[in-house]
């Protein structure tokens, strides 16, 4: 079997293709095509924790309005016993203490709890009470006083230490 080797030029001529493509032509390397890349702004990740709540100088806690004056006095001292000073402040501590909120709170720094003794109502808005304030060192201070309530809030008080 015989083989025929034809030059490429001959094959191209037979096929009717021009010879111009067969020349040894060296060309400079072409730069890679450029592409425009569109980027959108990144979507920020949600914060890992909520931002801190603003600190209020005199906090107010919403609660049902107490209409019984004795109940207001009892709740006021229960809030102090629970060290819920913001609630006691909102229930009238702001009216009867004559202090700023911070001084009101610091005034109870050595108070462990308050127990109400005798209470009596002097009408729809006035209450007389004896209270026992147990201190963190175990001592007990005794106070008595009269409290005036309006709109479910302490509006005035006359309290003195008796023991």
Distance CA 144, CA 163 (A): 9
Domain ranges, ordered by start, for the chain: 69-161
pLDDT of residue 118 exceeding 80:
yes
9: helix, strand or coil: helix
Where does the chain show beta strands of DSSP type E?
A: 111-121, 126-135, 140-150, 153-161
Contacts of 127 (CB under 8 A, 6+ apart): 69, 70, 72, 73, 119, 120, 121, 146, 147, 149
pLDDT of residue 135 exceeding 90:
yes
Cα of 122 vs its chain's centroid, Å: 43
Q: Are 153 and 95 in contact (CB under 8 A)?
A: yes
pLDDT score for 163: 87
pLDDT tens-place string over residues 48-107:
655 555 544 555 555 556 668 999 999 999 999 999 999 999 999 999 999 999 999 999
The CATH T-level fold of domain 69-161 is Nuclear Transport Factor 2; Chain: A, (3.10.450)
What does pLDDT average to over the chain? Answer: 76
């Amino acid at each position: 079997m015989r083989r025929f080797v034809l030059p490429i030029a001959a094959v191209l001529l037979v096929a009717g293709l021009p010879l111009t493509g067969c020349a040894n032509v060296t060309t400079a390397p072409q730069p890679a095509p450029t592409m425009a890349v569109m980027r959108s702004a990144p979507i920020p990740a949600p914060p890992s924790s909520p931002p801190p709540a603003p600190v209020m100088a005199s906090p107010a806690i919403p609660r049902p309005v107490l209409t019984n004056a004795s109940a207001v006095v009892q709740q006021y001292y229960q809030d102090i016993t629970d060290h819920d000073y913001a609630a006691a402040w909102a229930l009238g501590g702001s009216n009867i203490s004559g202090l700023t909120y911070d001084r009101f709170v610091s005034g109870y720094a050595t108070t462990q709890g308050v127990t109400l003794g005798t209470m009596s109502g002097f009408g729809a808005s006035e209450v007389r009470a004896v209270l026992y304030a147990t201190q963190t060192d175990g001592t007990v201070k005794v106070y008595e006083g009269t409290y005036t309530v309006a709109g479910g809030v302490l509006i005035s008080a006359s309290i003195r230490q008796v023991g």
